């Protein structure tokens, strides 16, 4: 992408760099669509230096986990999407083969032990780098719905 | 983070690099909490080479927009969180000051014109780099809820 100027007079960065905050530990060793994964428990092993960032995460029922599709190389702009078998653009799908391979899943919080977070329903394989954890709060998510009219 | 080995025998990467897929254009020039932002229209100017990735995005009512908090430098592991004024860890909050500054907002789809996507409810300021666009499909999001028991 060419550097573009906008009104805030800062160029759009060519590259953005992140450092994983931890990684996934579970018994999914190979990628694949598998409905049973939504019932499985995964551990997120957080970097020790970030452990304090989990304070009060135990008060939440659900979390967003953002992770990196480290096994998915390249992308297709148009492909057959999994959930309904229709052709669609990559931005109208959850394909792991996307320009920026960021995965996003809502999981159920189970427990925290030190720097280890236990969650249910994470569809990421063992060893997946985790980029961020955010609260999923239904009331806040629905804000857009309320303002719809 | 030290390189760690896991069962899949691949080291967790030290750094993960993304290239913005486009940027936000709206009339929010400075960051700040502002409830009225949820009613505002923003444009997402997608890179021209990614335009095909928007195919059938017009069939969706809501989208996740993942973006980069380009103006938020550094992070605090424990801070006072905005939505209820309580102290919490950064992973139990939506703070823009996080180890990886990735923002996530559910927006209402309005229209597409070529490589320009019009959405409502995006709380990102003008010029914000966009990292990904994903469908928000209530039925799929609720999968975790159904599997809860």
Both tokens of residue B45?
């100017």
Could you tell me if residue A103 is inside a domain? yes
Q: A111-115, B15-19, B145-149 — which is least confidently predicted?
A: B145-149
Q: What is the pLDDT of residues B101-112, one digit of tens each?
A: 999 999 999 999
pLDDT above 90 coverage of chain B, percent: 67
User: Would you say residue A146 lies in a domain?
Assistant: no
A147 part of contact set with chain B, CB < 8 Å: yes
DSSP annotation of B73 reads -
CA-nearest of A54, A98, A75 to B78 is A54
Asked if A11 and A5 count as a contact pair (C-beta separation under 8 A), the reply is yes
Nearest-CA distance A44 → chain B (Å): 13
Q: Return the closest-CA partner of residue A67 out of A27, A122, A114, A29.
A: A122
Q: Does B116 touch chain A (CB under 8 A)?
A: no
Say if B48 falls within a structural domain. yes
* Arithmetic mean of pLDDT, B93-120: 97
Residues 2-61 of B with CB under 8 A from A: 4, 6-8, 10, 12-21, 23, 25, 29, 38-39, 47, 50, 52-57, 59-60
Domain-located, residue B36? yes
CA angle, corner B24, sides to B20 and B29, nearest 5?
A: 125
With an 8 Å Cβ cutoff, is A73 touching chain B?
Answer: no
Q: Which two tokens stand for residue A23?
A: 């990684």
pLDDT digits (tens, 9 = 90+) for A10-40: 567 789 999 999 999 999 888 766 677 788 9
Q: What is the DSSP letter of A58?
A: G
Q: Is residue A18 part of a domain?
A: no
The residue of chain A with its CA nearest to that of B108 is A144
Where in the sequence is the domain holding A65, given as residue range(s)? 36-138
3-state DSSP call for residue B21? coil
Residue A119 lies in a domain: yes
Does B84 reside within a domain?
yes
Domain harbouring B92, CATH code: 2.40.30.70
Q: Which pLDDT tens digit goes with each residue over A67-115? A: 999 988 899 999 998 878 899 999 999 999 999 999 999 999 999 999 9
- The band of B1, judged by pLDDT with boundaries at 50, 70 and 90, is very low
Chain B CB within 8 Å of residue A68 CB: yes
Domain-embedded: residue B103: yes
The total of structural domains in chain A comes to 1
- At residue A11, the pLDDT reads 66
């Amino acid at each position: 992408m060419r550097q573009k100027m906008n009104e805030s007079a800062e160029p759009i960065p060519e590259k953005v760099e992140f450092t994983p905050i931890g990684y996934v530990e579970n018994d999914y060793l190979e990628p694949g669509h598998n409905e049973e994964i939504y019932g499985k428990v995964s551990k997120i092993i957080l970097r020790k230096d970030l452990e304090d960032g989990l304070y009060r995460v135990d008060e939440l029922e659900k979390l967003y986990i953002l992770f990196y599709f480290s096994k998915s190389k390249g992308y297709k702009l148009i492909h057959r999407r999994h959930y309904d078998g229709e052709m669609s653009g990559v931005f109208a799908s959850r394909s792991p083969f996307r320009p920026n391979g960021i995965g996003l899943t809502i999981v159920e919080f189970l427990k925290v032990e030190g720097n280890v977070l236990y969650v249910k329903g994470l569809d990421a394989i063992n060893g997946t780098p985790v980029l961020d954890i955010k609260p999923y709060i239904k009331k806040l998510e629905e804000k857009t719905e309320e303002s719809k009219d």
